[in-house]
Amino acid sequence: MSAQVAAAGVRQLDVAIVGAGFSGLYMLHRIRDLLKLETQVFEAADGVGGTWYWNRYPGARCDSESYVYSYSFSKELEQEWNWSSRYPEQPEILQYLNHVADRFDLRRSIQFETRVTSATFDETSSRWNLTTDTGEKVSARYLVSAVGCLSSSNTPDFPGLSSFKGDFYHTGAWPHEGVDFKGKRVGLIGTGSTGIQATPVIAAQAEHLTVFQRTPNFSIPARNAPLTSEAAREIKENYDRIRQTCRESDFGFPYEVSERLASEVSAEERNAIYSELWDLGGFRFFASSFGDILSDKAANDTAAEFVRAKIRETVKDPATAELLCPTDHPYGTKRPPIDTDYYQSFNRDNVTLVDVRTKPIVQITPAGLRTEDAEYDLDIIVFATGFDAMTGALLNMDIRGLNGTRLADKWADGPRSYLGLQIVGFPNLFTITGPGSPSVLTNMPVAIEQHVEWVSDCIDYMNRHGLSRIEATEDAQEEWVQHVWDEAQATLFPQANSWYMGANIPGKTRVFMPYVGGMTLYRDRCNDVAEHGYKGFALQN
| CB of 506 vs ligand N01, minimal distance in Å | 8
CA 376 vs CA 79, 87, 195, 380, 484: distances in Å: 51, 34, 18, 11, 44
Name which of residues 233 to 262 contact ligand N01 (CB under 6 A): none
CB atoms within 10 A of CB 466: 7
Per the rule left: phi > 0, alpha: psi between -120 and 50, beta: everything else, 310 is: alpha
Rounded to the nearest 5 degrees, what angle is found at the Cα of 107, between the Cα atoms of 106 and 109?
Answer: 75
In our burial notation (b when 16+ CB lie closer than 10 A, e otherwise), range 155-171 reads: ebebeebeebebebbbb
Contact between 24 and ligand FAD per CB under 6 A? yes
Among 3, 136, 139, 156, binds ligand N01 (CB under 6 A): 156
Among 109, 288, 302, 433, binds ligand FAD (CB under 6 A): 433
Q: Residues 456, 457, 458, 461: is their CA dihedral positive or negative?
A: positive
Among 43, 63, 292, 388, binds ligand N01 (CB under 6 A): 63
| CB of 155 vs ligand N01, minimal distance in Å | 9
DSSP, residue by residue, 51-86: HHHH---TT-B-SS-TTTSS--S-HHHHHH----BS
Contact between 194 and ligand N01 per CB under 6 A? yes
Sketch the per residue contact string, 33 through 72, with ligand FAD: x for CB under 6 A, - otherwise. Answer: ---------xxxx----xx-x-x----x-xxx----x---
Contact between 58 and ligand N01 per CB under 6 A? no
Compare residues 150 and 299 and give the one whose CB is closer to ligand FAD: 150
Compare residues 106 and 356 and give the one whose CB is closer to ligand N01: 356
93-96's contacts with Cβ under 8 Å and 24+ in sequence apart are 93/49, 93/52, 93/61, 93/62, 93/66, 93/69, 94/49, 94/52, 94/53, 96/70
Q: Cα dihedral angle (345, 348, 350, 351), rounded to 10 degrees?
A: 40
| CB of 478 vs ligand FAD, minimal distance in Å | 26
Contact between 190 and ligand N01 per CB under 6 A? yes
| CB of 204 vs ligand FAD, minimal distance in Å | 19
By a kind-dependent CB cut-off of 5 to 8 A, residue 146 interacts, out of ligand FAD, ligand N01, none, with ligand FAD
Stretch that binds ligand N01, among 187-195, 255-263, 405-413, 446-454 (CB under 6 A): 187-195
Q: Is 448 helix (H, G, I), strand (E, B) or coil?
A: helix
Stretch that binds ligand N01, among 30-38, 292-300, 383-391, 428-436 (CB under 6 A): 383-391
Q: Which residues bind ligand FAD (CB under 6 A)?
A: 18-24, 42-45, 50-51, 53, 55, 60, 62-64, 69, 115-116, 146-151, 194, 393, 396-397, 432-433, 443-444, 448
